Structure 1
Amino acid sequence: MNGGIGRAGLVGMMLAALVGCGGGASGDSDGSAKAKAKAGVGARTTAAASESPVASASQDRLSSDVLQSRWWTWAASEPEATNPVADEDGRECGRNQPKDVWFLAGTFGTRAERTCTVPGGVPLAFPLVNLVADPADCAEFMSAAEGSAVLDGEETDAETSRGETISVDGVAGNPVTGTGERFTATGCGLWVQLPPLRSGKHTLEIRGRSQDFSVAVDYALTVESA
């Protein structure tokens, strides 16, 4: 679910979520849940430097396991009514954002058009399609995973995470993991990290797919002056 685990269990124990969010999780040794959602680890734009929409300041990228742990925890931090993955128009995009990175979400398998204001000087991170499950499920999921992110008409590069151990916290009743408990599982997916964008208007088109799950989100971003 570029996602996230599932609508209150991305898939009954399969959950789907955006920006890439897709994920599933295991709470303990007796049970597991799987999810697909749209939000690895690094990406760079292919635009020429003189025309790049990205600010010149360099930013250290998050490691893949840290990125996935933090993104899934963010995606699971709100109940459905205010959840950024379930958001249809972008009004919830600022919920619980950390200060050092701005996360974007995918959907639970639907298409969305979102308008979002982003603070200046902050890097962006999101999945094209992703999953939280066990190693075998991630291997199967990633064998068919594909996606793209187009920023201001220029396609970016995404990195692939085929399976890393991550830890996720959520609030009770959230539609991404369906649980308020902390759990450890395997995270995988196609991920993009962008350095801070230049102030002004930007467009971002996110597409992701694996097996029978797909994500499509169009963002109209306004980046504030740093």
Structure 2
Amino acid sequence: MTASDGSWLSSLVDAVVGLMDVIGPAGAGLAIALENLFPPLPSEAILPMAGLAASRGSFTVIEALLWTTSGSVVGAFLLYGLGAWLGLRRLTAIAARMPLIKVEDVDRTVAWFDHHGGKAVFFGRMIPIFRSLISIPAGVVRMPAWRFGLLTLAGSAIWNTVFVLAGYFLGESWHIVETYADILQYVVIAAVAAAIVWFIVVRVRHLSAHRREPESDAA
């Protein structure tokens, strides 16, 4: 039950998933907790493998779902704690020292999260990369832990169930799911990259316009 293709990431996946052969479904839970802390580790590969192990009788599919979802919640709370430790004051101080970033950007982000944080946490658990990162701003704004926990549990349960059951029913053909999941991840990465480029271009133009204004006034 491996995903080796010679790459370092596949080797890492194989090593982590190997935990399932040693400690059973708890290994799947630990692997998913690590995936939250290290987003390049793909849950889209780990979860179907947990389903595949369940189909082979290594443990039940219910155990796979319970342990992987528990791992998701534990990993999310670790990043939530990191965000809470960072806090709004530290985040604002960091933003003030970064080029192209304004303190107002932090304020707007916090205001947006106050209004849409619940939806962001719930749906973010079903989007590659964001499923891990969304926990940090939730901690920064100190979203109530019970609310964060319930939303994370609900979103993670849906995501994990889809991929665990895919591995359970597809068996050795679980790579089909991984292929489509990879496409989704590439789309998300491309969208994030485009948003970053757009932000940099707009901010540089804005700063350039402000620099030209004093020159115009002087003339």
Return the TM-score normalized by structure 1: 0.27
Structure holding more helix per residue: 2
Q: Greater Rg, structure 1 or structure 2?
A: 2
Structure holding more strand per residue: 1
Higher relative contact order (CA 8 A, sep 6+): 1
